[in-house]
Structure 1
Amino acid sequence: MRIKSIILAALMVMAFSMTASATSMTVKGSTTVLPIMQKAVEAYMKANPGISISVSGGGSGNGIKAIIDGSTDIAMASRFMKDKEVKLAMEKGVYPVPFAVGIDALVPVVHPSNTVAGLTRAQLKDIYQGKITNWKDLGGIDKKIVVISRDTSSGTYETWEGKIMKKERVFAGALLQASNGAVVQAVSKNKYAIGYIGYGYLDKSTKALTVDGIEGNPETASSGKYPVSRFLYVFTKGWPKGETAKFIMYLLHPKYGQAHAKAAGYVPLY
C-alpha cells in the first residue's frame, strides 16, 4: 500500500534526524485519539524508565491550538488542520507536521433499549437540525428525541458536521458534551437520547446504529465503505527530533503503536 511506503519512509528519515533525547514530553488534544495515546504512553514509559510523558484531552481544536502556541510537544486530532489554523501557525513561524496514527469509524449510538437499529445520513442530518424530533417518525416509540452532540472545539464534531450535516450547523437544542466519554455517559442514562462517538468508545452501555445500512467496524472503516470513517492524527511542531521523534516512530510501528491502536478499538494503518 502507498500509505505504508510513505510511513516507512518517514520512519527512516526520522531515524536519521534524532538528536539528544529529552526526558519529558507533553501531549494534548483529541479525546478520540486519547485511548490510543494512553496505551502507547504507558508502554513507552515502561520500556523507557527515564522518560515522562503527560497526556490530556480537551478536544482536537485545543490540541492544535497548543501545538501552535508551543504549550505541547504533540497534538492529538481526530481531523486535519483547518486552513485558518495553518495560516495562524505560519504567521507565528510554526510548521505543524501531521502523522496519521489510526483509522476510526464515527458511530451514532442510542440507549440499549431503543428499538431503532439504523438510520440514513439524511435522517441523522434531520435529527441534528431539529427537523425530526420524535422516535416514532423513525420506527421507534412515541417519545421526543434527546439530541446529544460534541462541542464545536472537537474534531469529532467537525467530522460529523462535514460528513453528516454537510457543513450545516447542529441545531441549538442539542446538548453539547466535551468528550466521547461524556457522550457515552449521557446516552447510557437517557432512553430517548442519540449521540455519536469514536468506534473505540463503543461498549455495552450504548447501542450502535448502522448508517445507510452499513455497520461501522474496522473492516468497513479501513475499506472506506462506512460513510463516517476518518483518519486520526498527531501533529508535531516542525519535524520531530530527539525523544519526540522516537515516540512518533513508536506510534507508527506496526508492532507497537499500531498494535495499541487496535487494542484501543481503532483500525491500525497497516
Structure 2
Amino acid sequence: MKRILFLVLCICVLSMKADAERIVGNGAEQYYEEYGDTLKIDGSTTILPIAQKAAEIFMMKNPEITVFVSGRGSEIGINALINGTIDIAIASREAKAEEIESGKEKGVILMAHKIALDGVVPIVHPSIKIANVTMEQLRNIYNGKIKNWKELGGPDESIVVYTRDIHSGTYTVWSEKVLHRDTIRTDAFVVATSSRMVRSVAENKYAIGYIGIGYIDKSVKALKIDGKTATEENVRDGSWPIVRSLYMYTNGRPGGLTAEFIDFIMSEEGQNIVTKAKYISIK
C-alpha cells in the first residue's frame, strides 16, 4: 500500500514540472527505511526533469524498487554523494578539483557519466525588442557595465538581472564562460532553481536571466548570441558559445541498482527521455 501511494505521489509531482523542483526534500532520510530496494538521486535542477522521468519509468519496469529524486543544486548533490547519503549525483558541470580531492579523502572516487549535452541560453521577457546580444554585451550586463536596455537598442528602462545561486552548476558555467569569473553585479536577483528563473523573467518586462535549453518555453524569449541560435546542431558542433555536458556521478564504477539505472539512462530508451526533455542526447 505504501508503494502504491508513493507512486501516485511521484506521478502527481512529476506532472507539475514548473513546481516540481524536488520529489523528496528535507527530512527525506526518514522515508528510506520504509522501502525495500531504494536508489537516491540529488543535484542539478537542470537535469531534474530527465532524472524524474527516468525514475518514473524505471520504477514502472521494476516495481520492487523505489527511486527518490531531489533537485538541490549540483554542488549539494556532489557533496551528498561524497558524504554517502545518496547513490547518484546529477550535475550540470564537471566536478571541481576540490570536490574530487574531498571525495578521495573520504574514500569516494567521483566517476562521471555523461548523459546529455546542453546549451545555456540568455532569456528575456517576450516584449523586449532585442533578438541578439554579443558575449561582450552579456558580460557587461552581468558585471554592471551595461545597466539600461537603451544601450542595446531597447527601451529606456533599467535592466533587471537575475542569476542563479552559487550552488548551481548553471551559475558555475555562466560565471566561467560569460563572466570569465568577473564579479556579478551586486543588484542581481538570485533564484534557486531553473523553473523559478523562467517564472521570474516571464513576470518582469525588463528582466534578463539564463537557463538550460530544456527549460525554454513560450513565456520567455531566448536570445541569440553573436548571431547564433541555441539549436541542437549548434550545440553539438560547439558553435553555440555556452555548451556544457550534463552528468550523473557515482562513487567509482557503479554496481547493483546504481549500475542498472545508469545503464538505463544510457540506453536508447533513456536517451529518448533526454530528447523529450528538450536536451541533446549523446547517442
Q: Give the corresponding residue for 2:231.
A: 217
Residue 156 of structure 1, aligned match among 170, 173, 192: 170
Q: Give the corresponding residue for 2:91.
A: 77
Letter of the structure 2 residue corresponding to residue 72 of structure 1: I
Q: Where do 5+ consecutive residues of structure 2 fail to align?
A: 1-35
Asked if residue 243 in structure 1 is aligned to residue 257 in structure 2, the reply is yes
Give, in whole Å, the separation in 2 of the partners of 1:61 and 1:182: 18
Give, in whole Å, the separation in 1 of the partners of 2:227 and 2:80: 39
Letter of the structure 1 residue corresponding to residue 76 of structure 2: N
Alignment of structure 1 residues 124-203 onto 2, 5 Å: 124-203=138-217
Give, in whole Å, the separation in 2 of the partners of 1:169 and 1:73: 34
Give, in whole Å, the separation in 2 of the partners of 1:169 and 1:45: 43
Give, in whole Å, the separation in 2 of the partners of 1:124 and 1:28: 30
CA contact (8 A) 1:40 1:256 kept: no
Residue 113 of structure 2, aligned match among 99, 102, 107: 99
After TM superposition, give the deviation of residue 195 of structure 1 in Å. Answer: 0.1
After TM superposition, give the deviation of residue 169 of structure 1 in Å. Answer: 2.5
**CA RMSD, Structure 1 to Structure 2 (Å):** 0.8
Q: Give the corresponding residue for 2:276.
A: 263
SS of match in other structure, 1:58: coil
Query: In the TM superposition, what whole-angstrom CA distance separates every residue of 1:105-152 from its partner, at most 9, and x where no partner exists?
Result: 100000011101011100000000011000000010000000000011
After TM superposition, give the deviation of residue 38 of structure 1 in Å. Answer: 1.0
Give, in whole Å, the separation in 2 of the partners of 1:53 and 1:143: 47
Give, in whole Å, the separation in 1 of the partners of 2:184 and 2:75: 17
Letter of the structure 1 residue corresponding to residue 275 of structure 2: K
Give, in whole Å, the separation in 1 of the partners of 2:53 and 2:276: 8
Residue 42 of structure 1, aligned match among 47, 56, 76: 56
Letter of the structure 1 residue corresponding to residue 173 of structure 2: T
Letter of the structure 2 residue corresponding to residue 264 of structure 1: A
SS of match in other structure, 1:131: coil
SS of match in other structure, 2:151: helix
After TM superposition, give the deviation of residue 30 of structure 1 in Å. Answer: 0.1
Asked if residue 233 in structure 1 is aligned to residue 264 in structure 2, the reply is no
Give, in whole Å, the separation in 2 of the partners of 1:85 and 1:244: 21
SS of match in other structure, 2:261: helix
Q: Percent identity?
A: 45
TM-score, length-scaled by structure 1? 0.90
Q: Give the corresponding residue for 2:6.
A: none
Give, in whole Å, the separation in 2 of the partners of 1:107 and 1:142: 24
CA contact (8 A) 1:187 1:193 kept: yes
Q: Give the corresponding residue for 1:7.
A: none
After TM superposition, give the deviation of residue 23 of structure 1 in Å. Answer: 1.4
Give, in whole Å, the separation in 2 of the partners of 1:58 and 1:97: 20
Alignment of structure 1 residues 9-24 onto 2, 5 Å: 23-24=37-38
Give, in whole Å, the separation in 2 of the partners of 1:39 and 1:225: 29
Give, in whole Å, the separation in 1 of the partners of 2:78 and 2:223: 30
Letter of the structure 1 residue corresponding to residue 65 of structure 2: I
Greater alpha carbon shift after TM alignment, 217-226 vs 98-107: 217-226
Aligned residues: 248
Letter of the structure 2 residue corresponding to residue 136 of structure 1: K
Asked if residue 117 in structure 1 is aligned to residue 131 in structure 2, the reply is yes
Give, in whole Å, the separation in 2 of the partners of 1:167 and 1:257: 34
Alignment of structure 1 residues 53-64 onto 2, 5 Å: 53-64=67-78
Q: Give the corresponding residue for 2:220.
A: 206
Give, in whole Å, the separation in 2 of the partners of 1:256 and 1:185: 30
